[in-house]
Chains A and B, each alone.
Chain A
Amino acid sequence: MGKIVYTCPYVPAEWVAAHGLVPSRVMVRTAGTSPAVGPKEGVCPYVRGFVDEVMSRNDVSGIVMTTVCDQMRRAFDIVVGRSKLPAFLMNVPNTWRSVAAQRLYVDELRRLSRFLVGLGGSAVSNGELAKVMLDYDTARSSLLAKRELMSGRQFAEMVAAFNMDGPGAVSANVAGCSAAPRGVPLAAVGGPMMAEDLDMFDVIEESGGRIVLDATESGERGICQRFDRRSIGDDPVTELAEAYFGGIQDASRRPNSGLYQWLKQHFEERGVRGVVLHRYVWCDMWHAELARLREWTDLPVLDVGVTGDCEADKHRAANQIGAFLEMLQ
């Protein structure tokens, strides 16, 4: 079966799977180095890493990218220009309050469906979609239920495994979790993390902290909301759109007030005492939120800017995190 790779949380895995294809939301391993993306300066390391990763793979049938941020939208041009793989750019609106924006998202799912069928996928039936949605929902619930038993890295890797390989990856791994670290409860907030960035969670725990909320795009914040199981039977497409487009709160939304409501609720529920903002240099979306986050919350906020130069980033972050936790303890 053909594998469809993507990285944006607004692409529903269930939709791809219901076409009989294999959805694989990649966690980028490392910042890319390919000259195809142009000069390093000015380009988000995650975008660079994603382009490198998808262009170097030979187990892929198609790529799906979205318009959520300008850099990814433009990186699509590069992927199309340099790779022979079929690629699809999905329009995910930044506005979300109008009915037209919600309708556009659903229309784009239908357009994506035509692309997937063109790659050998089968036409989607409501019955098959509902079944896949239930499977995914169950797996997500059991993953989230075990969150408290996992370290920051374990949880992030589990989410990444689920995103990459589907529900099977959760049932196989969740059973082994039993001991979460203790420490100052922190939230990690930001865009997506690369696999190499997960070292940050280890450093936090080694320095006396504990991630109680992974509000990065590759963590809990990038997981769609739970489905209303009664609605799945009646109109699974609408329910899917509601859970993804209506349920994932991101810095890129206009306005992005929903992100702050989501954070407020989760900070309170989890007793968060400090916030670590993980952002890539040249990511305007998250960079611009730093000052706002600091104005908005009474909690201390640590800014961890990642350049993609792994060793230097690690060293700098370790010093920053150590000092931050010393202050909080």
Chain B
Amino acid sequence: MTGVVRQISLDEWDRQYESLQRAGARRPGYVGPLGRHVQDGDRGLVRLRFDNSPAALRLWNFLLTEEDRLRQARTEGKKIVGAMKDLGTVPVMAYSLDNVVAFYPDGAWWIPCVMELSAGLLGIADSLGIDESFCPVRAMLGAFVTEAHFPIPDLLSCSVGATCDDFSAIAQRLNGLGYPIFWWEIPHRRSPEPGETAIELPGGFVAPQSQIEFVKSELQRVAAALEELAGQSLDEAKLAVGIERANQVRDCLAELRLLAFTAEVCPIPALEMLIAEMLTIHFCSDQNESLAVLQELLEEVKSRVAAGVGLLGPDAARIFWVNPVADLQVMNLLEECGARICGTEYLFSHALDKIPEDVPPLEALAQTALADPMVGSAADRARRICADIRRFGAEAVLVSRIPGASHCALEGEVIRQVVADELDIAVLEIEVPPLTDSMCPALMTRLQALVETVRERRKK
């Protein structure tokens, strides 16, 4: 375990890295000083504060070297799938094949933050008619045009239907620019009607069997496209093994989340937990290694919890965080204000839930896809948030609005209402653009007010 648990700057990490090297620590090849990523253009990293464990160093390096792995995969003759929007389902299928890797072009969301806008991706999106009235995922368009952030996939899939208008419109724009897209439909999840067979999905939502059958048929089409790409069959046996492997990653993360969110003292910062959650979506282009990275992080957290050490004191305000932030620095602000994360819903809870292993694989994946909190009603999503708040003992909810996102304007009020009705805890809504530097003082004030509210309520 790391000695004193702290959040350190990038410079401090680089110095610490040298000491680790001198001490002869053996690390995977992709692990190096974080400073090298800044030289490669990830200038936004200098604004962040990082957990000081070697496990966190490995996590960050793993995240920041994904492009290298994708290019390496192409060199090795593997096929690359750009899965778009479904967040968590298509990659499980793709990694069931031994000559395919999958990633989410959606991840370009964070490039403007990590590169401090220097990559010019938002400017390219602007020039293509996709301006700041769209969600920051528009950076993806620029990433395709420049070809500088990921290799152009051999197959692009995109789920549409009950998805956000932002992504659907941007993907269509991409298609109009000449990138072929395999579209598949994810319907709005609805409640079963009288007489319909109701199925409980991973995570607790319920859907009628007929919708699961429909999604299964859509995933069959996806499977056929993957088979054609890979030149090999994607049969039930392969999918079952793929699901088992994905579940190992999800199980590991579930244990990590439970410990991180419920330990008396916060054992790991919010930012590293956000990155850890992101790994389960597509395994950062290496499924085995993503498991190893999470396992090391879990061991670190376990030992911290056992020793009763961590960040902040036991009185830190316990916050449930809704929606990912376009500027990662905001996760650091939370701790600076005396709060910690006790539960999250970053739009992809379905990618964290265990995929059922007791039903045929495509049916299991259909259930997983339909469990997406964003394909159902905002009230459903809010109720899941309430259930997780109870489970993790959060004392307030922070909804971070995503600028331009079609769902944010309408769902915030619904979430606030359901949380108020069910739990009577404070809800704060903030908006987080890709670069918040000039807004930091105002954001801090609002976060501090939330922390104060939590403390006041404790006195009652």
List residues of A whose CB falls within 8 A of some B CB.
Answer: 37-39, 41-43, 67, 69-71, 73-78, 81, 89, 91, 93-95, 98, 100-101, 104, 107, 111, 114, 251-252, 254-256, 281-285, 287-292, 294-296
Known: A67-B187, A81-B414, A101-B185. A287 touches B409 (CB 8 A): no
A254 touches B133 (CB 8 A): no
B407 touches A70 (CB 8 A): yes
B160 touches A70 (CB 8 A): no
B176 to A, closest residue via Cβ:
A292
Name B397-439 residues within 8 Å CB distance of A.
404-414, 417
Q: Mark B163-181, 1 if CB is under 8 A from A, else 0.
A: 1111011111101100001
B130 at the interface (CB under 8 A from A): yes
Min CB distance, A233 to chain B, in Å? 29
Give the segment of B97-105, B213-221, B268-276 that binds chain A: B213-221
B128 touches A291 (CB 8 A): yes
A89 touches B379 (CB 8 A): no
B185 touches A74 (CB 8 A): no
- CA distance in complex: A289, B404 (Å): 17
B173 touches A291 (CB 8 A): yes
B408 touches A42 (CB 8 A): yes
Known: A70-B407, A71-B410, A78-B410. A284 touches B183 (CB 8 A): no
A285 touches B169 (CB 8 A): yes
Task: Using A38-B412, A76-B377, A284-B165 as known contacts, list a sample of 4 further A-B pairs with CB atoms less than 8 Å apart, ordered by residue number in A.
Answer: A70-B164, A93-B185, A284-B133, A284-B134
**Closest 7 pairs (CB-CB, A-B):** A291-B129, A42-B409, A288-B169, A284-B165, A74-B410, A284-B169, A70-B165
- CA distance in complex: A291, B126 (Å): 10
B378 at the interface (CB under 8 A from A): yes
**Neighbouring A residues of B379 by C-beta, 8 Å:** 77, 81
- CA distance in complex: A76, B188 (Å): 12
Which of these, A104, A289, A296, contacts B214 with CB under 8 Å? Answer: A104
**Neighbouring B residues of A39 by C-beta, 8 Å:** 409
A115 to B, closest residue via Cβ:
B193
B444 at the interface (CB under 8 A from A): no
Min CB distance, A72 to chain B, in Å? 10
- CA distance in complex: A37, B414 (Å): 10
B292 at the interface (CB under 8 A from A): no
**Neighbouring A residues of B411 by C-beta, 8 Å:** 74, 77
List residues of B whose CB falls within 8 A of some A CB.
Answer: 128-130, 133-134, 158, 160-166, 168-173, 175-176, 181, 183-185, 187-188, 190, 193, 210, 214, 217-218, 221, 377-379, 404-414, 417
Number of interchain pairs (Cβ within 8 Å): 141
Known: A38-B413, A89-B188, A292-B173. A252 touches B168 (CB 8 A): yes
A77 touches B181 (CB 8 A): no
Which of these, A93, A100, A281, A282, contacts B217 with CB under 8 Å? Answer: A100
B173 to A, closest residue via Cβ:
A288
- CA distance in complex: A290, B166 (Å): 14
**Neighbouring A residues of B181 by C-beta, 8 Å:** 254-255
A256 touches B172 (CB 8 A): yes
- CA distance in complex: A41, B406 (Å): 11
B174 to A, closest residue via Cβ:
A288
- CA distance in complex: A281, B409 (Å): 13
Known: A74-B407, A100-B217, A291-B129. A255 touches B414 (CB 8 A): no
Min CB distance, A37 to chain B, in Å? 7
Min CB distance, B218 to chain A, in Å? 7
A43 touches B409 (CB 8 A): yes
B414 to A, closest residue via Cβ:
A77
